[in-house]
Amino acid sequence: MKTLSLDYIKDKVINGERLTPEEALELYRNSDLTTLGMLANLIRKRKHPNNVVTFVIDRNVNYTNVCIAGCKFCAFYRRKSDSDAYTLELETILQKVQELVDWGGTTLLMQGGINPDLPLRFYEEMISAIKERFPQIQIHCFSAPEIVYLSKLEKLSIREVLQRLKDAGLMSVPGGGAEILSQEVRKQISPGKCSVEEWEEVHRTAHELGMTTTATMMFGHLESIEHIIEHFERVRRIQDETGGFTAFIPWTFQRGNTELDFVEPASSVYYLKVLALSRIYLDNFENIQSSHVTQTMPVGMIGLHFGANDLGSVMIEENVISSTDFKVSIPKVEDMVQAIRDAGFIPAQRDTYYRIVRRFD
């Protein structure tokens, strides 16, 4: 068929035309790594002709590790009865935010497990206290599964939960809990979490309430490329209708202390091909992030030539990936700046909303 010939599909990409799911599948299956990278890099240059690559200084505070979801890919969660289960005291959380401020950070990323002992009031008081003491910090917190669980726990709608959290000081919502937005995959790896439709409702509702969110994808486990394109299609459709996503952030599953340790680790080639395809398919996303945390900095830098215009974060704290066997290396600001320069770009620190805070020309 003409519409599925590889040359026709590549011409569509070069001409800035939108691909269908079938065309994306054909492109992935029949293009080599360099072709996908070339096409993705072409699109990145169109969207970001100034050659700037951004990063953020943030802190990922996991306020509790108690979780009843039981996701098969997670090495971080604990049962309430486990000796190392915890819920942080408010004062400890505030100390962590103070360290973030002292470090020059702009973004507080805070997520935890689905802890049945924590009511909505706990979250409101925590956010209010942070907002009152640190009004300059952008509060980017709570994944869709946490929001959905709170709505069920409190017998409130998702909109009511989000509105109350926004009133307390929540500013934006991370895309965590997406994994793969295909129910076929979710029932295998995270049956205790919210459904695809519930994840979508959280993000649509947040957008309607004036909050931005990110779209994420954790892959490299039990999914097929068809599932990945299903994920792309869903977030592209939401972005068409709301425009509320600031970025798309894909990363790979890391094994070690999980129920999916039998899965072969995703190769860097697979990661880069999927990263490139995300830039090609998600034509309505301005920002695509390359993952140095799960891929190492050298691969993260290569990702900047495969469609990404952001290299993620200089994190003061990271606990989830570190719970696996993967050795996480968190760069300092000067390391991040140098890595971006070495990749051939102009480094710039951004905030949660992808606004430039400081350029390193």
Q: Are 331 and 57 in contact (CB under 8 A)?
A: no
Q: Name the token pair of 62.
A: 């996991």
- The answer to whether 169 and 139 are in contact (CB under 8 A) is yes
User: Which residues are 59's β-sheet partners?
Assistant: 108
Residue of 239, 227, 231, 225 whose CA lies nearest to 283: 239
- The 3-class secondary structure across 17-53, one letter per residue, is CCCCHHHHHHHHHHCCHHHHHHHHHHHHHHHCCCCEE
CB-based contact 4:22 (threshold 8 Å): yes
- What is the β-pairing status of strands 346-350 and 356-359? antiparallel
Output the DSSP codes for 54-94.
Answer: EEEEEEEE--B-B-SS--TT-SS-B-TTSTT--B--HHHHH
Rounded Cα distance, 44 and 309, in Å: 7
329 is in an annotated binding site: no
Q: Flag whether 278 is marked binding.
A: no
Buried b (16+ CB within 10 A) or exposed e, 212-235: bbbbbbbbbbbbebebbbbbbbbb
* 67 annotated as ligand-binding: yes
Cα 203 to Cα 163, 189, 236, 352, distances in angstroms: 13, 21, 13, 16
Q: How far is CA 235 from the centre of its chain?
A: 12
Sign of CA dihedral 130, 136, 142, 147: positive
On whether 128 is known to bind a ligand per the annotation, the reply is no
Binding residues for (3R)-3-methyl-D-ornithine: 143, 291, 313
Binding-site positions for [4Fe-4S] cluster read 67, 71, 74
**Residues annotated in a binding site:** 67, 71, 73-74, 143, 179, 291, 313
- The binding site for S-adenosyl-L-methionine consists of 73, 179
